[in-house]
Amino acid sequence: MADQLLTAAIDHREVGRQLASMCGVELDSIASQDARLWEARGQALQALAAGDMDGALRTMGLVSSRIMDRYEAWEIASNAVAVRTAAGWTRDMLISSTESGRAPCGRGYYLFCSGAIAVCYFPMVCITDMNGRGYHFHIAQDLLNERDPSPYAIGRPTLPQQLEMFR
């Protein structure tokens, strides 16, 4: 219990500074971007100590320079949609859902939100968390291959049988 209070009382920047000094790195003598990485490591360590693995992964993902490949993101997104479609989800259910989780393949995380799906290497709370390190796809247009009709399309009756009923 005392360890938990001590861990919560210590600022993540100080934990990062201690981690860096244990590795022989002096934060005052390195670039500010590298110093922020050590501070993020301190914050991630505190999240792990509290039992929050997703929080630790999110923290490290936000400072990571690792970018997901578009093909890999497409595969994860299309598989997530296919699994839900096979389970009986409708188009409207897919578009209106807000759900996130780890991809079954274990290579990334997804987030359904506002008619889109975002995919990256770390858990997200909102689509902007991926911030250029992943991809997002519009569910209806990109994954279900629905296209809006052209505004210049000629409208013709699609069911002439209905017109015959009104003679």
- The DSSP code sequence of 47-116 is HHHTT-HHHHHHHHHHH------HHHHHHHHHHHHHHHHHTT--HHHHHH--EEEE-TTSS-EEEEETTE
In the prediction, which pLDDT does 148 show?
A: 58
Residues of the chain with pLDDT under 70: 1-9, 33, 61-66, 130-132, 145-167
Please write the tens of the pLDDT for every residue from 67-115: 788 888 899 999 999 899 899 988 888 888 888 888 888 888 888 988 8
> What tokens appear for 31 in the block?
């670039």
Predicted local distance difference test score (pLDDT) of residue 33: 67
